[in-house]
Amino acid sequence: MPIDKTIKKALVLGSGGIRIGQAGEFDYSGSQVLKALKEEGIETILINPNIATIQTDPQLSDRVYLLPLNVKYVEEVIKKESPDGILLAFGGQTALNIGVELEEEGILEKYNVKVLGTPIKAIQTTEDRDAFVQAMDRANASVCKSEAVNNYNDALRVAKKFGFPLMMRVAYTLGGRGSGIVENMEDFKKMAKRGLAQSRINQILIEESMWGWKEIEYEVVRDSEDNCFINCNMENFDPVGIHTGESIVVAPSQTLTNDEYQMLRSASIRIIRSIGVIGECNIQYGLHPTSKEFRVIEINARLSRSSALASKATGYPLAYIAAKLAIGYNLPELKNKITGITTACFEPALDYLVLKIPRWDLQKFQKVDRHIGSQMKSVGEVMAIGRTFEEVLQKALRMLDIGMKGFVGNDLDPIEDFDELRYELRNPTDLRVFRITEAIKRGLSIDEIYHLSRVDKWFLYKLKNIINIENELKKLDFLGGDRDEIKYWMWRAKRFGFSDGQISDIVGSTIFDTIKIRKIIRKEFGIQPYVKQIDTLAAEWPAQTNYLYLTYAASEHDINYDLELKEKLRKVIV
């Protein structure tokens, strides 16, 4: 299907000023959509009051309005600019909510503005619980036993009927605002009143709790001709009950069997077709840890925080492709930007791991509750690429820039009381990874840590592996010990994400500081990192990209260096 030639001018809604739950991650998607539209000769108008993002640079769009994102101002811009179409999927929940309001108030029809991409009806289906349940029934996908209510008395009635614990969600809010797992009626009464006030349509959803289930996410793309594919699947380190924006997330999933992966993949394609999304959407599942029972938690019919991670993880430009689909193109008509050969319909295949960890700044606030749950508190995130889970976790922990050297080797005040430590494992804070370190080192079994935290045992054994390597490093005699043994454990430590500085601190010797570990020990044994290339198709096709990462878990470079050129030029990595 060719491009819609009637679209000469398009309005793009941003996500608004930076605050927790919005803005930062949508700068990437907003910038890509503007680029995609300009390539087709479409005039672009952007409304976004955030001057601290690249998308508001005048070079990216034809006209920028630094105005508040609400119906009143958007209508004024529509009246002045007379756009042919509007794109709602690239500014997070803020843009989505405004788009729904513009439709409900008849403003889009009044000015003859066409919604490009996912239609309003599909957006409303994902946000309205009754319509959502009906769509999931059509897709043969289970949802939690739940009931949507619009007043306080009905909320109390449903809570009594379901019993505790319960999960409470608020309709049309950012970053899970107002939601959470509720253990008793006293807490429920407070949350219900607050949630009803926070919702744009005064609606809260009360549902059975799935605390402790695995949380799995799929990024799905569909065009107007019903072509679908899975861009990426991701697994949350943390169980259901912790917002995905608060979770450590790894791509691709690590603990799913092939049957489970294919089951959720098939469900994802049925779901996106049932709802009618055109472009990209994020589907979140709860998967029972010991059976194939699953529930659809929610669907984001837009580019989301997870979409940004998936796009960076696979190298697949999700927002760019979604924008092309919104103006009429189909997936087989578009090229994969990385291979330059295959179409955009090819599913990425990863021969590496990507891990995301959120970044909090909770220590800046007095009396703040540092516990994390279904409401988002993080203000950013970091992403690491490597070949083993241990490697990417330790890389990411260092990149958080909070003074941590990795999973081990940190100066963190311990929790002396075992009961308090167990409480923190059951009720996690922003330091939950390091509390797991502490629990393993102090002798708590993997079974007990799993029972308290519901972090899958596969992840816990990987974390224990890091501690085992730390213990072996402490035993080494770098001055007079067996050189083969030192070489083996140095190679193993580097393969599993230990930095030279971290090894130096673990060895605890002033003789071998970071520089000497690097120059004398590691270089002596020829333990060097290799440059690997992200190609999205696990080397099935040659890649045309310089999207690179360093790892010790390899035996050769993916890049052929010209030795003569290397001698002539001094190269700098930023």
Q: Peptide bond before 252: cis, by omega within 30 degrees of 0?
A: yes
Q: Are strands 146-149 and 204-208 parallel, antiparallel or unpaired?
A: antiparallel
In this predicted structure, which of 346-360, 420-434, 525-539 has the lowest mean pLDDT? 525-539
What is the pTM for the complete model shown?
0.87
- pLDDT, one tens digit per residue, over 142-192 is 988 878 888 888 888 888 888 888 888 887 666 566 677 788 888 888 888
Q: How confident is the model at residue 569 (pLDDT cuts 50, 70, 90)?
A: low
Look at the domain 145-208 and name its fold. Dna Ligase; domain 1 (3.30.1490)
**Structure-token pair, residue 49:** 């009051």
Q: Which residue has the tokens 């370190």?
A: 437
**pLDDT of the residue at 218:** 96
- pLDDT, one tens digit per residue, over 340-353 is 667 788 888 888 99
Q: Is residue 22 predicted with pLDDT exceeding 80?
A: no
Q: Is 406 left (phi over 0), alpha (psi -120 to 50) or beta?
A: left
φ, ψ for residue 65 (rounded to 5)? -110, 110
Host H or E run for residue 158: helix 152-162
Mapping DSSP to helix (H, G, I), strand (E, B) and coil, where does residue 111 land?
coil
CATH class of 214-350: alpha beta
Q: Is residue 135 predicted with pLDDT exceeding 70?
A: yes
- How buried is residue 482: exposed, middle or buried, by Cβ count under 10 Å (0-12/13-18/19+)? exposed
**Structure-token pair, residue 321:** 């492709």
**Structure-token pair, residue 167:** 């999960």
Which residues touch 480 (CB under 8 Å, ≥6 apart)?
Answer: none
Q: For the chain, give the percent of residues with pLDDT over 70.
A: 91
Q: Is residue 526 predicted with pLDDT exceeding 70?
A: yes
Q: Are strands 353-359 and 380-386 parallel, antiparallel or unpaired?
A: antiparallel
Percentages helix, strand, coil for the chain (3-state, rounded to 5) are 40, 20, 40
**pLDDT of the residue at 7:** 92
Distance, CA of 396 to CA of 359 (rounded, Å): 10
Q: Is residue 8 predicted with pLDDT exceeding 70?
A: yes
Q: Which of 532, 552, 559, 546 lies closest to 350, judged by CA?
A: 532
Residue ranges per domain, the chain?
A: 9-116, 145-208, 214-350
- Distances 81 to 55, 65, 85, 108, 249 between C-alpha atoms, Å: 19, 11, 11, 13, 41
Mean pLDDT of 14-20: 71
**pLDDT of the residue at 399:** 94
Of 2.60.120.10, 3.20.20.70, 2.30.30.100, 3.40.50.20, which CATH number belongs to 9-116? 3.40.50.20
Q: Which of 282, 248, 240, 249 lies closest to 374, judged by CA?
A: 240
**pLDDT of the residue at 564:** 47
**pLDDT of the residue at 2:** 66
* 314 Cα distance to chain centroid: 12
**pLDDT of the residue at 176:** 60
Q: How confident is the model at residue 539 (pLDDT cuts 50, 70, 90)?
A: low
Mean pLDDT of 209-223: 92
Mapping DSSP to helix (H, G, I), strand (E, B) and coil, where does residue 12 land?
strand
Q: Is residue 68 predicted with pLDDT exceeding 80?
A: yes
- pLDDT, one tens digit per residue, over 551-566 is 999 988 887 766 545 5
- pLDDT, one tens digit per residue, over 394-426 is 999 999 988 899 999 898 888 889 999 999 999
* 231 Cα distance to chain centroid: 13
* 463 Cα distance to chain centroid: 21
- pLDDT, one tens digit per residue, over 267-323 is 999 999 999 999 999 999 999 999 999 999 989 888 877 888 888 888 888 889 999
**pLDDT of the residue at 337:** 66
